[in-house]
């Protein structure tokens, strides 16, 4: 599996080339691409699959006898929606990639054929042919799993006919442990398997209870034979015949798509865009990755411009543009992928704005596959933004429990104070009231944060806050 019954390896490329400009003048580098390359492993053993099928069939017989499972109605064909979603309140451009489809070539090893007549699948010398769709989290999969960022939802309404929970969920390779999974039978008798879930995240519903299309089933995890957080989605018809939900000229199992809206085979997109103070560090499985994301800088700081993409193809182009606070173009340049085809990869550049550049909110724009992606960052002093005319004083920093801003003059009615993490996520927001406004930091964790004062949506001042 991509991360999905696969071991992910970083293939580090040669160091990037720097443009030779004067120190602290306007400067940016050429691009540096790092891909992920998966190595397959047998994600479900023959014994485990036989055990799963036996338990599902036994559960179905019992539920039929108790009138808790409707008899299949072949005419009520299942139409599937995408089985993943972001948790409420999380807004990302993307979060996944596909590393493996169903293998339609029964011979082995290394005889691969997916529904689109490609080789995005795998088999093993022992005779395992991949029997599902592997959807992995990208980037920062362990971070996403630990934050419960990506939820598994019912692709179609149905009745729970099996549920496994309580199993270890930080697997990094082949093992004898079972996965955490939910098995749902649809009205036509077909059954969907949702595997490798996070331990303890599964729906509280039990066998015989119904779920609606889009209902929460659990959180993406790495239980069972798995090298990282992902969903293994497997589908069988009412006769226990394997189904590949994707339609394609090399799908030998079924002639039509089971998806309401089938996604493209090559689904190019940026999943994430960010600014960093250093490139990310992808730590060994199962540790969280170190993002090194930051949204505030001095004008002479080195700023790393990050894009994380899925399904990038050789020859793909990306246009990078940096805008000053007044929307004038600081610099713009094209980048062409000459490295190869990758299911998951990231690219970074670095830039130095230069002495005397405008302070305030800057924009990092990337245009890829005719889509425009944005990230915002701030350039200014680490104390009061000089361009704000010393309108206020702040303190204390570092602080243990509260942070105050004292204005020189009475703030306007629409003056807002915001506290952001270095990843750009808003932690606190409060409307300024009187000459002094105090923010209780409460549950804010230790670390470095950015405070911002905005008036009618325009940035007045910004600076650094250290929480002990």
Over residues 320-356, the pLDDT tens digits come to 999 999 999 999 999 999 999 999 999 999 999 988 8
Structure tokens given for 211: 């779920």
CATH entry 3.30.420.130 includes domain 41-243: no
- C-beta separation of 32 from 349 below 8 A: yes
Does the pLDDT value for residue 189 go beyond 70?
Answer: yes
Identify the residue with better confidence: 4 or 224.
Answer: 224
Residue whose C-alpha is closest to residue 181's, from 205, 156, 198, 163: 163
Which token pair is 76?
């009520």
CB 204 within 8 A of CB 160: no
Ranges of CATH 2.60.40.1220 domains, the chain:
386-467
Q: Mean pLDDT, to the nearest integer, of 301-314?
A: 96
pLDDT for the residue numbered 216 = 98
Between 433 and 143, name the one with better pLDDT: 143
Beta strands per DSSP E along 281-413? 296-297, 303-312, 317-323, 329-336, 342-352, 360-368, 371-379, 392-395, 402-407
Q: Which range is least confidently modeled, 195-199, 284-288, 297-301, 385-389?
A: 385-389
45: its two tokens: 């053993």
Q: Whole-number mean pLDDT of the chain?
A: 87
**Range(s) of the chain covered by CATH 2.70.70.10:** 41-243
Distance of CA 451 to the CA centre of its chain: 26
CB atoms within 10 A of CB 154: 24
Q: How confident is the model at residue 359 (pLDDT cuts 50, 70, 90)?
A: confident
**Considering all CA atoms of the chain, what is the largest pairwise distance in Å, rounded to the nearest integer?**
80
Task: Return the closest-CA partner of residue 426 out of 451, 448, 445, 395.
Answer: 451
- Give the list of residues 6+ apart from residue 58 with CB closer than 8 angstroms, or none: none
- Residues of CATH 2.60.40.1930 domain(s) within the chain? 270-379
28-56: per-residue pLDDT in tens?
Answer: 666 777 776 555 667 788 899 999 999 99
Q: Which CATH number fits domain 386-467: 3.40.50.2300, 2.160.10.10, 3.40.50.970, 2.60.40.1220?
A: 2.60.40.1220
Which distant-in-sequence residues (6+ apart) come within 8 Å of 176 by Cβ?
Answer: none
Segments of 353-442 assigned E as strands: 360-368, 371-379, 392-395, 402-407, 415-421, 426-431, 436-440
What gap in Å lies between CA 143 and CA 287, rounded to an integer?
Answer: 8
Q: Quick one: pLDDT at residue 17?
A: 25
Neighbouring residues of 440: CB distance < 8 A, sequence distance ≥ 6: 401, 402
**pLDDT score for 43:** 79
- In this structure, the strands spanning 296-297 and 371-379 are parallel
CB atoms within 10 A of CB 283: 11
Return the CATH architecture of domain 270-379: Sandwich (2.60)
Asked if the model's pLDDT at residue 240 lies above 70, the reply is yes
Confidence bin at 383 (pLDDT 50/70/90): very low
Task: Kindly tell me the sign of the dihedral angle through the C-alpha atoms of 320, 322, 327, 329.
Answer: negative
53: Cα within 13 Å, side-chain hemisphere? 17
Give the Cβ contact number of residue 426 at 10 Å. 10
């Amino acid at each position: 599996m991509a991360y999905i019954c696969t071991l992910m390896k970083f293939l580090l490329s040669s160091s990037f080339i720097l443009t030779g400009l004067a120190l602290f003048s306007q400067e940016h580098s050429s691009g540096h691409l790092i891909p992920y390359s998966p190595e397959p492993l047998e994600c479900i053993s023959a014994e485990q699959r036989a055990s799963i099928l036996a338990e599902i069939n036994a559960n179905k017989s019992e539920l039929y006898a108790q009138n808790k499972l409707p008899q299949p109605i072949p005419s009520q064909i299942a139409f599937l929606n995408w089985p993943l979603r972001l948790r409420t309140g999380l807004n990302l451009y993307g979060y996944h990639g596909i590393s493996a489809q169903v293998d339609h070539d029964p011979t082995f090893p290394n005889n691969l054929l997916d529904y689109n007549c490609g080789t995005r699948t795998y088999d093993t010398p022992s005779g395992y042919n991949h029997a599902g769709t592997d959807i992995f989290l990208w980037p920062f999969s362990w971070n996403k799993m630990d934050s419960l960022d990506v939820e598994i939802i019912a692709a179609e309404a149905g009745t729970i006919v099996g549920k496994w929970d309580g199993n270890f969920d930080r697997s990094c390779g082949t093992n004898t442990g079972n996965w955490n999974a939910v098995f749902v039978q649809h009205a036509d008798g077909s059954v969907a398997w949702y595997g490798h879930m996070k331990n303890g995240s599964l729906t509280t519903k039990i066998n015989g209870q119904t779920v609606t299309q889009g209902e929460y089933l659990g959180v993406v995890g790495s239980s069972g034979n798995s090298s990282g957080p992902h969903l293994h989605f497997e589908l069988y018809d009412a006769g226990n015949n394997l189904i590949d939900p994707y339609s394609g000229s090399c799908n030998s199992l079924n002639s039509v798509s089971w998806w309401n809206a089938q996604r493209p085979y090559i689904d190019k997109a940026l999943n994430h865009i960010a600014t960093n103070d250093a490139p990310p560090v992808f730590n060994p499985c199962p540790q969280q990755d170190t993002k090194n994301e930051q949204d505030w800088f001095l004008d002479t700081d080195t700023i790393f411009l990050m894009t994380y993409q899925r399904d990038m193809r050789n020859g793909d182009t990306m246009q990078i543009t940096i805008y000053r606070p007044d929307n004038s173009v600081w610099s713009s340049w094209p980048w062409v992928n000459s490295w190869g085809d990758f299911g998951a990869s990231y690219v970074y550049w670095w830039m130095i704005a230069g002495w005397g550049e405008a302070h305030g909110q800057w924009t990092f724009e990337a245009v890829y596959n005719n889509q425009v992606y944005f990230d915002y960052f701030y350039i200014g002093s680490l104390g009061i933004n000089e361009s704000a005319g010393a309108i206020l004083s702040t303190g204390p920093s570092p602080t243990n429990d509260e942070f105050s801003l004292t204005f020189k003059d009475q703030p306007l009615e629409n003056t807002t104070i915001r506290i952001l993490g270095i990843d750009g996520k808003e932690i606190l927001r409060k409307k300024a009231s009187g000459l002094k406004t105090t923010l209780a930091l409460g549950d804010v964790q230790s670390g470095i944060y950015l405070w911002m004062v905005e008036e009618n949506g325009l940035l007045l001042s910004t600076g650094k806050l250290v929480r002990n």
